[in-house]
Amino acid sequence: MGLADHGQAADVHPGVDEDHRLGTSGPLFEFNQTWQLVINTSTTIVTFLMILLIQNTQNRDAAAIQIRLDELIRAMQGAHNALLDLEELEDHDLDRLRNEYQDLAADARKDLDEGKSVGEIRQRKARHASGNADGGEP
């Protein structure tokens, strides 16, 4: 008695009730709304926890890099120790410092474009540093 005889498919799993087959078939069949809510909520919570874990790891990595950079600045002769905690400054102070360093970079590119030697550029940098040591502006 197949499909052609009665217009219906024969029971593939005799002795197994319909509810059991639907419950174990996973997403191939419709879940009831409660089960879908549990799955969606669990997935959302796991995703949120993973994001927190990744952010925490990135924040620790950024802090470690910042400490390394601070140590390099501290150890460099002629470096400005005031740059050690830039992340604590206000935005307008950061903008001012960024503009000063952009001006220095522009001057260095200009010197290179004019064909100045490395020695001349270092002399200019030394004059700039001595101006700052005397309280002058860069």
- pLDDT value at residue 46: 97
- For residue 101, name the pLDDT band (cuts at 50, 70, 90): confident
Contact 63, 55 (CB under 8 A): no
pLDDT at position 105: 85
pTM, full prediction: 0.45
Do 49 and 41 contact (CB within 8 A), yes or no?
A: no
pLDDT 10s digits, 3-30: 445 555 555 555 555 555 545 555 566 6
Q: What is the pLDDT of residue 53?
A: 96
Summarised one tens digit per residue, pLDDT across range 47-97 is 999 999 999 999 999 988 988 888 888 888 877 777 778 888 888 988 898
pLDDT of res. 1: 47
Q: How far is CA 116 from CA 23, 108, 112, in A?
A: 79, 10, 6
